[in-house]
Structure 1
Amino acid sequence: MNSSCKKITPLEKFSTVVTGAAGSSSAFLVAVLLILVWLITGPIFNYSDTWQLVINTGTTIITFLMVFLIQRSQNKESIAIHLKLNELVAAHSKASNRLVSVEDLTEEELRVLRKFYAKLATMSKEEDSMQQTHSIEEAEELHEEKQAEKEGR
C-alpha cells in the first residue's frame, strides 16, 4: 500500500500503542504489583473505606477504558481477517463467490447458508474420501450420481 494513502490519526496511533502495551507481560506484572502494594498498605490504612475505594475506582476506570480498546482492536482485526478471506475466496476459481462479504448478511441469511454447509458436511461424510471438496451444487450432483449408481447395481 502506498504510504501517501496511509493516514493514521493520533488517536488511532495512541490506541494501537496502548492496546499492545496492555496485552504485554510487563503490563500484567505491573497490575499484579499494584494489587500487592494495595494489599500491603491495607493494615497501614486500617482497611478503611478510602483504601477500598482506591482499588475499586482504579479497577473500574481501567476496565471501562479497556473494554473500548479491546473492542477497537477486535473490530480492526475482524475487518482485516474478512478482507483476507474475501481475497482467498475471490482468487480461487472454484470457490463460491456467495461467501465474499458473508459478514454483511443478515442472521437469517447466515442461518440458511449454514444449513447448506451442514448439508455439504453430511454429504461429505458419506463420500469415500474426506479430501474431496465441492460447491454445494457440485456436491448435490455428485451425491445424486453416487446414489443412482448404488441403486443401479
Structure 2
Amino acid sequence: MTNNNWFSKFSTGLSTMAGKPATFVIAVALVVVWAISGPMFHFSDTWQLVINTSTTIVTFLMVFLIQNTQNRDTAAMQIKLDELIRALDGAHNALLDLEELNEKDLGRFRRRYEQLAEEARSALRSGGTDTDSPFIDQSDSDDDKGRKPRKDAH
C-alpha cells in the first residue's frame, strides 16, 4: 500500500498544482516565448517539433495523474453519498452502491426516478406537494418492504 500511497500523494499534489492560475500563466508564457523565438529559428521543423513534443508529453502524463485523482475523489464521494442514504430514515438502501450496477439496472432506476420527478412536477402544478419518498418498487429490494414513506415537515 506504500507504493500506491506515494503515487496518490504525488498525483493529488501535481493535479492541484496544475489547476492553479499561476500554472496556466506559466504555460501561456512558455507558448509566447516559443512563438517569439520562431523567427530566430526560421520557423523550422525542429522549432515546431519542440512545442508539439512538449505538449504531447505533458498532456499524456497529466491524463494519468488527473484520472488517478479523479478516481479517488469519485470513490470518496460515492462512499459519502452511500453513507447519507444509509443514515437517512426512509431512504432506499437499494440505492447504495448504484455505481456498481450494469447499464440495464441503472436504466431501470433512472426511469423510475424520472417517473417520480414527473409525478412530483404534476403534483406541484396542481397545487400539491412533492415532499414524500415513495417506494421505488416493492420487488426491487427487501430492505424497503414494510417501510412507511417518509413525509417531510414542510
Question: Structure 2-normalised TM-score?
Answer: 0.80
User: Which amino acid in the other structure matches residue 121 of structure 1?
Assistant: A
The aligned runs of 1:58-69 (5 Å cut-off) are 58-69=54-65
**For residue 136 of structure 1, what is the aligned residue in structure 2?**
135
What's the offset of the Cα at 1:129? 3.2
Q: 1:83 aligns with which of 68, 79, 85?
A: 79
What is the number of equivalent residue pairs in this alignment?
A: 133
The offset of 1:132, in angstroms, is 1.2
Q: Provide the rounded CA distance (Å) in 2 between the counterparts of 1:137 and 1:47.
A: 64
Partner of 1:113: 109
1:40 to 36, 40, 43: 36
- In the TM superposition, structure 1's runs of 4+ consecutive aligned residues that sit over 6 Å from their partners are none
The equivalent residue for 2:10 is: 14
The percent identity for this pair of structures is 43
Give the aligned partner of residue 53 of structure 2. Answer: 57
RMSD: 1.8
Q: Tell me, which stretches of 5 or more residues in structure 1 are unaligned? A: 1-5, 139-153
State the secondary structure of the residue aligned to 2:41: coil
TM normalised by structure 1 equals 0.81
Name the residue aligned to 1:70: 66
